[in-house]
Structure 1
């Protein structure tokens, strides 16, 4: 087996741009913050380097807030809770909030909206044991949307297009038994809009099978039926047009897109426009790319989520971050995230990122290409809040330009954003080693003092005339480097 230290040293002696310590990942590569592990003299730094004004480097990028978690509390007051938080979120750099499915569900005042019954009941009809939804009244929802808009934030509605719940029982000749497929004013659809029967669900006289549902098969809407299309997105009083033109929603998060064909999303977006993102719960980037191509919509980047979970938690190996991910080929269509309402309530440890690794994962998505999503429970966690604000500020300023992985091994990952114009870009350094790490890399900055804009390091290295600079990462942490004034 090749000796890794000798191999790296041979690269150094051969004139490679990367200049490391030639010490591998053994204990002699773990140093105190005051040590220089390369032995290369550094140009003395000014005693008080002046940080860049990140506000003056606004790159136009923003982040989305997932504005809920599973089983939010307090019940009946969630829309008002969000209305109070929206101004602060806007100031922090959020430009969209994604809210849960806003319509009345079968579980009434306990429903998180994913057991949708009446698409047009926003908390203003008495059915399923309550007038208000779990989140509040229609008036409170309308106030939230208006408050968000006045703070330059778009509101993204969660849209459940396949499975319905809470209808009345009726004989279904296509299944030869009774099914809960009757939705009318007396049976789970008090609005009287988009009444449904068994003919609107699979199977029926038009479609004999369900092409994609994994659950709720008896009440899975058949999107091939013209009247279903009319009520969902085509007619002027369709779900899509009512939500946009009457309620004021700005975009769509499509729930469980594995349950219906991608052309449905494509036609919906062609009918009403707005931002959209699909929940294709799959870690294979090729599956995500194929769905994006067919639907014309961005997708949540589950490929990056799972690579972060594998590298930080499951296998503790940062070289996994060199793997294929959606953002690497489709940065404009990759909505990245580190947690959501499903992953955080999932008992499967491979479906969530541990709290101790959350900030490293956020540092990754907030410095790499893609459109990052912040999870409500993380942002409102006082342990994380200030740190997330700093990361969002860095994302909205320095996280720009082409991406280059400078170094990756089991416990280190170094990535560079090359900047654009007068924006210098950044270098991200993540370490899962138990000691402070330093590594010399090739930057785009010559003879300039750097600082860590994440505030995790007090080290102030200076690059040489060729841009080589020694940066550090704290033990089991990260740092984000750029130039000073």
Structure 2
């Protein structure tokens, strides 16, 4: 019997930039697997603009912490060898490793170049607000300290289509690079008219040499690391035809089981569905609409109707392609997409993604281990471990929902015969203490069920007809399941 799969995002934005993160993963790998983690999504492994770069300010895609570039050999997270050792430790423990891949842009150029641009409107990148003029831009990447190891490809302005800084005049703006066939990429998100440009020097996926180089790199990286999959960053800014081609090529090299999930950060369900259709459902997407529902529920408290929590979410309409999550490195406090799910609702939110039959849940390092920085947040390991236990041991079988009260929802997993003592009953309240009578199966008659979260200490005996009345505290979650110890 295949057990439920759980992913962990193994980083948060403020992980200490001391080069020890890969070693931390290596040491924790066996424990994570014991706790019920089956795969880890790790941060970008490539050299950024400094030793403190989180990895999203990409400098050299072929430097995995091996060359003395940007003032450091290691990346923020460690050296190449430490990375390889961490991946091996995860896989030896029985966990897959998914690598964060950043392909949209490059930063920290080795030199400037002179070239023609047209300035465009910030809020509508299709609207030109200047005639062509010359600027000095940071677009020349030669990677002198790598000395052509692994790749001889050097980047120049012809490989980009946009930039946001003119070194000649010290002016910032959004400048579209001019040249034969140069334009913003089509088939990207239509916010701001065309949302191809995000930051730094924007890679031009219309350029055939760029397409060839990036696909070659994607194959090289997967082969070098022997990883199990990719998380693709910022894909709403990249032509979806290239995304589809990239995924096809890496799977041709690594096998169809190579896992790919994408960050398509759009809250509207329809846009997510359209993107999946455009890439022929070749990858999974983070359920951004569900994240915002969880955030809204945590902010609104008792004013939120819990029966609507899954309305207009990806997991509700396309569960097999939905990666459900509560928070991540971008939504944590003080970051780019801050939309933090408040503490009082955090455990309930995780129950909603971990204990139901649909979706592929991903738990956040910052929620589990805590967040560093100037305003640290403590981890919630003690609140999350019982949910991980319940997901691995209890949350199986047919699901029956009791979404009949805006302040008190519940559901039951009836369990499977082949997983002994599986089955559970979950209640969530966003207002007062409550109770709900739910059916867990006539075969359960006489069993004693307890709250795995430890929030309540009741011992509930399942009645002859398979029903029982289950309880939950106000603004809380309880996960009821069979306890053999309680019967002794």
State the TM-score bracket (shorter-chain normalisation). Answer: 0.7 to 0.9
Larger deviation, residues 332-341 vs 448-457: 448-457
Q: Which residue does 2:315 correspond to in 1?
A: 327
Please say if 1:291 is aligned against 2:275.
yes
Task: Pick one of 138, 155, 170 that aligns with 2:113.
Answer: 170
Q: Post-superposition shift, 1:103?
A: 0.6
Q: Post-superposition shift, 1:466?
A: 3.6
Distance 1:422 1:148, change over 3 A: closer
Q: Post-superposition shift, 1:329?
A: 2.0
Q: Post-superposition shift, 1:153?
A: 1.4
Tell me if structure 1 keeps the 8 A contact 2:160–2:201: yes
Listed one character per residue, the Cα deviations across residues 248-287 of structure 1 (whole Å, up to 9, x for unaligned) are 2221111111111223222222112211111111222222
Larger deviation, residues 472-481 vs 419-428: 419-428
Cα distance in structure 2, aligned partners of 1:356 and 1:180? 46
Please say if 1:145 is aligned against 2:83.
no
Cα distance in structure 1, aligned partners of 2:63 and 2:141? 13
Pick 1 or 2: higher relative contact order, CA cutoff 8 A, min separation 6: 1
Tell me if structure 2 keeps the 8 A contact 1:322–1:408: no
Tell me if structure 1 keeps the 8 A contact 2:330–2:338: no
SS in 2 for 1:178: strand
SS in 2 for 1:110: coil
Please say if 1:65 is aligned against 2:51.
no
Q: Which residue does 1:393 correspond to in 2?
A: 389
Cα distance in structure 1, aligned partners of 2:11 and 2:220? 23
Q: Which residue does 1:30 correspond to in 2?
A: none
Please say if 1:425 is aligned against 2:423.
yes
Larger deviation, residues 238-247 vs 459-468: 459-468
Task: Pick one of 440, 444, 447 that aligns with 2:441.
Answer: 444
Cα distance in structure 1, aligned partners of 2:319 and 2:184? 36
Cα distance in structure 2, aligned partners of 1:408 and 1:363? 18
Please say if 1:242 is aligned against 2:220.
yes
Alignment of 1:161-310 (within 5 A): 161-167=103-109, 168-175=111-118, 176-186=134-144, 191=149, 193-202=152-161, 203=177, 204-211=179-186, 212=188, 213=195, 215-216=197-198, 219-233=201-215, 238-273=216-251, 274-295=258-279, 296-310=282-296
Cα distance in structure 1, aligned partners of 2:438 and 2:335? 40
Q: Which residue does 1:415 correspond to in 2?
A: 411
Tell me if structure 2 keeps the 8 A contact 1:314–1:350: no
Cα distance in structure 2, aligned partners of 1:365 and 1:264? 31
Cα distance in structure 1, aligned partners of 2:211 and 2:53? 25
Could you tell me which runs of 5 or more consecutive residues in structure 1 were left unpaired when the two chains were aligned: 1-57
SS in 1 for 2:227: coil
Q: Post-superposition shift, 1:347?
A: 6.0
The TM-score normalised by the length of structure 2 is 0.80
SS in 2 for 1:470: strand
Q: Post-superposition shift, 1:173?
A: 3.1
Q: Post-superposition shift, 1:352?
A: 1.0
Q: Which residue does 1:55 correspond to in 2?
A: none
Cα distance in structure 1, aligned partners of 2:468 and 2:236? 47
Cα RMSD (Å) of the superposition?
Answer: 2.5
Aligned residue pairs: how many?
Answer: 422
Listed one character per residue, the Cα deviations across residues 190-218 of structure 1 (whole Å, up to 9, x for unaligned) are 75543211111124433322444364466
Q: Post-superposition shift, 1:313?
A: 2.2
Tell me if structure 2 keeps the 8 A contact 1:118–1:189: no
Listed one character per residue, the Cα deviations across residues 67-86 of structure 1 (whole Å, up to 9, x for unaligned) are 11113115222111221111
The TM-score normalised by the length of structure 1 is 0.80
Cα distance in structure 2, aligned partners of 1:309 and 1:184? 44
Tell me if structure 1 keeps the 8 A contact 2:99–2:231: yes
Tell me if structure 2 keeps the 8 A contact 1:121–1:190: no
Distance 1:193 1:63, change over 3 A: farther
Q: Which residue does 2:339 correspond to in 1?
A: 351
